[in-house]
C-alpha cells in the first residue's frame, strides 16, 4: 500500500508519531532527515514529529535522546513536543507510528476519506522481526540505543523508496 500511495504524491510529507514526542518520534525524524540528506532528497521532503498524548506538549526533547543521537552523529534541532491534530492528516502523506498503541490512536483520529498512509514505521523493516519501537522513556541509555538501532533500517528503506519514486517523477 505504501508504494501505491508513493506513486501519487508530488511532495513527500512524513510525520513520525509516538506517545509523547520527546524520544522516539524526534529520533525517527532526525535519523530520517540525515538519511534523506545523504541521499540528496531532503529538499523534496517535509517532515515533523508529534505526540498522541498531551502529557509533554511544550517540553523539549529528552536529554538522553539528544545524547544518544549525538553519539551516532544525528542532530536533533531544538523543538518542543506537540500533539497530533486533525490538520496533520491533510498535511502529511505518510504518518508513521512507533508502536501499535500509537497506530490505534491515529486510526481512531483519522478522518474518513484520508488518502494518505497511516502505519507502523517498523513495517518498513520486516527483517527486524518486531513491529514496535519500544518507548525508552523509563529505560536506560541502552534502550535509547536500541531505539536508534530499530529506526535506522526503517529510515533506510523509506529513503530508498522515496529516492526511487522521486527519480521517476
Domains: count for the chain: 1
Burial 100-117 (b: 16+ CB within 10 A, else e): eebbebbeebeeeeeebb
| For residues 22-30, average pLDDT | 98
| For residues 49-71, average pLDDT | 96
The answer on pLDDT for 19 being more than 50 is: yes
The x, y and z cell numbers of residue 6, run together, are 508513493
Q: Which residues are part of the catalytic machinery?
A: 18, 24, 135
Which structural domain, as residue segments, surrounds residue 64? 2-168
- The single residue listed with the C-alpha cell 524520544 is 23
The x, y and z cell numbers of residue 4, run together, are 501505491
CATH number reported for the structural domain that contains residue 14 in this entry: 3.40.50.2300
- Percent of the chain's residues with pLDDT above 70: 94
Euclidean distance between CA atoms 97 and 84, whole angstroms: 11
The pLDDT tens digits of the residues spanning 68-122 come to: 999 999 999 889 999 999 999 999 999 999 999 999 999 999 999 898 999 999 9
State the average pLDDT for the chain: 93
Amino acid at each position: 500500500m505504501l508504494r501505491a500511495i508513493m506513486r501519487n504524491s508530488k511532495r513527500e510529507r512524513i510525520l513520525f508519531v509516538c506517545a509523547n514526542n520527546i524520544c522516539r518520534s524526534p529520533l525517527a525524524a532526525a535519523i530520517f532527515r540525515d538519511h534523506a540528506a545523504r541521499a540528496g532528497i531532503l529538499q523534496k521532503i517535509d517532515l515533523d514529529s508529534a505526540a498522541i498524548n498531551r502529557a509533554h506538549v511544550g517540553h523539549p526533547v529528552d536529554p538522553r535522546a539528544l545524547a544518544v543521537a549525538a553519539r551516532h552523529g544525528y542532530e536533533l534541532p531544538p523543538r518542543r513536543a506537540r500533539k497530533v491534530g486533525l490538520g496533520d492528516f491533510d498535511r502529511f502523506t505518510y504518518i508513521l507510528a512507533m508502536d501499535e498503541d500509537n497506530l490505534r490512536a491515529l486510526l481512531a483520529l483519522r478522518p474518513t476519506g484520508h488518502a494518505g498512509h497511516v502505519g507502523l514505521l517498523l513495517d518498513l523493516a520486516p527483517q527486524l522481526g518486531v513491529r514496535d519501537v519500544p518507548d525508552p522513556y523509563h529505560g536506560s541509555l541502552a534502550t535509547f540505543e536500541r531505539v536508534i538501532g530499530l529506526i535506522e533500517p526503517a529510515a533506510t528503506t523509506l529513503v530508498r523508496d522515496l529516492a526511487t519514486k522521486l527519480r521517476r517523477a
